[in-house]
Structure 1
Amino acid sequence: MNSANPVDNLATLIRCPSVTPAEGGALGALEAMLAPLGFRTERMTARDAGTPDVENLYARLGSAGPHLMFAGHTDVVPAGDEAAWTHPPFAAAVVDGKMYGRGAVDMKGGIACFLAAVARHVEKHGPPAGSISFLITGDEEGPSVNGTVKLLQWAAERGERWDACLVGEPTNPDQLGDMIKIGRRGSVSGTITVRGVQGHAAYPHLADNPVRGVLALADALMWPPFDAGTENFQPSNLEVTTIDVGNPATNVIPARATARFNIRFNDTWSAETVQAEIVRRLDEAAARERLRPGRAPVSYEIAWAERPSHVFLTRDEKLIASLSEAVRAVTGREPKLSTTGGTSDARFIKDYCPVVEFGLVGQTMHMVDERVALADLETLTQIYETFLERWFVDARS
């Protein structure tokens, strides 16, 4: 197989049903494509109590610096109702200039294109003037416990060091060249539990309705806004994602209510300061009497998700410039430098080296009939190839 052809690379990867956390043959296929280019490959299985084992892949070409990492994931979300797909989700069918399949854009397509770019670079110039590595996980679409975070630790313990990283997530909203991600907002999740006293809805004085309390607390979390945004980040937003009482009866006041929330926060905050602000708001709201006149303050408990994601902004001008110039040279577009969207595994990589994200158009990711234009695969490969040439020059200057 010609690894310089991104269409062939992607078809091979899509045909591996690597629904998270299953490896599905995808890492093996990638190893087989990397080895002829001179990469040394290693598979690493990560384990943690209460989570599935995950296979990961690390591959390196070269031994000297500067060292560029490409990071991504071969695991994909489930296909859902396969009967709803126009073409089977793991067949890599090509119709009207588009390839259909789960993972086509998120993000087997990015891996396929970077692999093709490296193959072309090696064919034209020989081995890179430094090192290129692939850090590929099978846990990005899952709990993200046994994937990139542990693979980075594993590699670093073996002496691996990186000067920069490109993550191939689908960053472009409409067309290739729209957007480069140079940072991400942080993320904190939590669960609030309010305990009351169960009773008859007609005799509320004999009960204590926790719904009144949880609504007051939820309101305080969503208003007023946490901030108005900053120079590089959009405003922080907290969303209450569910309120539950587990009560099927209409005439019974429940004994317990819970609310779950998630906040995406900008560089106004750290994970610690935003948690402190949330607690301050809850304490203040708990003492209000609007929904609970004459009652004692709301008694609540809060449980934080184990691992918050920290806000970060990449300031490596050479890395950003090399990629931006490559996008302009190939597409003629000026990419927007953005920190929008959710989280990605870049949140782990930023602790080891500067990181940016750029990949395919993400309009169909996670959808039925996920698909990518073959023309976009070729264009992204050209962008990555141009980036490789520029980055190794810029990194040495």
Structure 2
Amino acid sequence: MTDPVRLTAELVRCPSVTPEEGGALVLLEEQLTDAGFECTRVDRGGIANLFARWGEQGHVQTFGFNGHTDVVPVGDAAAWTKPPFGAEIHDGILYGRGATDMKSGVAAFAAAAIDFVRDTPPDGAVILAITGDEEADALDGTTALLDYMDQANERMSVCLVGEPTCPNHMGEMIKIGRRGSMTAWFTITGVQGHSAYPHRAKNPLPAMARLMDRLASHELDQGTDHFDASTLAVVTIDASNPATNVIPAQCSATVNIRFNDTHTGASLSDWLRSEAARVAEEFDVEADVRIKISGESFLTPPGALSDLVAKAVEAETGVSPELSTTGGTSDARFIKSHCPVVEFGLVGRTMHQVDESVEVAQIEQLKAIYMRILADYFA
């Protein structure tokens, strides 16, 4: 049997800080090829990605896994009590950058897929789509894999993303959707002047304060059946003005919005621009708005896929998982246009932290859950 703990440790020892491959995908490709998977590197834009398929191409019934081997930077290495890439195990806990997010998840589904196709070859195909670009801009990661699949006539019938999904204990949460995410940068330009003669200037600061207040105090919605209420956070306001006797010519601010399926990125962009134009006219200043939509909200309605995963989770953990759309973004936001997708993984309490770690027992349990999902899907 393929040991997911050993594989997790081997992956953690690969220093794959985005965009470095670090040897992680090379290691996975070797193991998957030995197990009979047909592997293809789908590198793009300096990012390493791996596509692996066991079974016939274009088969009607194809189960897919998605995950990433890139990790965030270590940060202050001196603050770590264990080597960030040492994969040391102490008292049943494996330490290292990526131990939680999400080399353990990749190791668990790779080990499950290898053992499943060896022991009970299914009447169908199993696909693993693993990227090295999830923690950064995600421009050349899972999107590159999906582009390759479209061109190569490859398709997943359903997909499970192995991100950490459980807040506190194993089995408590499955993600069936995610909120959308977008950021807007505002610049208001007035006329610089002496603070003793404000009538000779056009102060951008009161205009920006009014705009930020309008945006922050506006209720976007009250939530939907599967989503919490959308949120807008003002994350910075800056005039870069050290002088107390000068009215600056320019002020900038940034907001971040996490939105549910009441909205689209386009509809919120229109609202932000209209509010900025309204304030600019009111204060006789100029307003510029730049917007980046990181992902739209999406939902895989409760049904066959979530039932399949929930049944396996409960069978292995004794916990009936909650179906949730909470949290940040994930690569599921790209996959949702390709096929139905849900997310399930282990407890994510330490992800991105100093001394990131995972319980060894959770890795083994996660592999067992993935094995059961595959067995039930192809039954």
CA distance in 2, matches of 1:218, 1:267: 24
Match of 1:122 in 2: 117
Alignment size in residue pairs: 377
Match of 2:241 in 1: 247
1:10 to 8, 15, 24: 8
2:162 to 159, 164, 168: 168
**SS at 1:359 equivalent:** coil
CA distance in 2, matches of 1:353, 1:326: 20
Amino acid at match of 2:114: A
TM-superposition CA deviations, 1:48-74 (whole Å, max 9, x none): xxxxx1111111011133111101110
CA distance in 2, matches of 1:337, 1:280: 36
Matched, 1:207 2:205: no
Matched, 1:87 2:82: yes
CA distance in 1, matches of 2:138, 2:245: 42
**TM-score with structure 2 setting the length:** 0.96
Amino acid at match of 1:351: S
CA distance in 2, matches of 1:271, 1:261: 14
Kindly report which structure 2 residues correspond to 1:1-397, keeping only aligned pairs within 5 A, or say none.
4-47=2-45, 53-63=46-56, 64-125=59-120, 127-286=121-280, 296-305=283-292, 307-315=293-301, 317-393=303-379
* Counterpart contact for 1:167–1:357, Cα < 8 Å: yes
* Counterpart contact for 1:174–1:361, Cα < 8 Å: yes
Amino acid at match of 1:346: A
Q: Which stretch shifts more, 240-249 or 67-76?
A: 240-249
Contiguous gaps of at least 5 residues in structure 2: none
CA distance in 1, matches of 2:366, 2:163: 12
RMSD: 1.4
CA distance in 2, matches of 1:102, 1:129: 37
Shift of 1:287: 5.1
CA distance in 2, matches of 1:244, 1:134: 45
Amino acid at match of 2:346: L
CA distance in 2, matches of 1:309, 1:9: 31
Shift of 1:123: 3.8
Q: Which stretch shifts more, 235-244 or 197-206?
A: 197-206
TM-superposition CA deviations, 1:224-259 (whole Å, max 9, x none): 211111111000001111112222223221111111
Q: Which stretch shifts more, 197-206 or 12-21?
A: 197-206
Shift of 1:130: 0.7
TM-superposition CA deviations, 1:21-69 (whole Å, max 9, x none): 000111101111111211011112212xxxxx11111110111331111
Amino acid at match of 2:30: A
**SS at 1:133 equivalent:** strand
**SS at 2:187 equivalent:** strand
Query: In 2 relative to 1, CA 285–226 (structure 1 residues): closer, same or farther, beyond 3 Å?
Result: farther
CA distance in 2, matches of 1:226, 1:279: 15
CA distance in 1, matches of 2:172, 2:336: 23
CA distance in 2, matches of 1:327, 1:194: 51
**TM-score with structure 1 setting the length:** 0.92
**SS at 1:389 equivalent:** helix
Query: In 2 relative to 1, CA 316–162 (structure 1 residues): closer, same or farther, beyond 3 Å?
Result: farther
* Counterpart contact for 2:64–2:129, Cα < 8 Å: yes
Amino acid at match of 1:322: L
CA distance in 2, matches of 1:244, 1:348: 34
CA distance in 1, matches of 2:147, 2:252: 36
CA distance in 2, matches of 1:15, 1:308: 30
Q: Which stretch shifts more, 24-33 or 248-257?
A: 248-257
TM-superposition CA deviations, 1:140-186 (whole Å, max 9, x none): 01111111112211121111111000001001000111100000111
Amino acid at match of 2:286: S
CA distance in 2, matches of 1:6, 1:233: 34
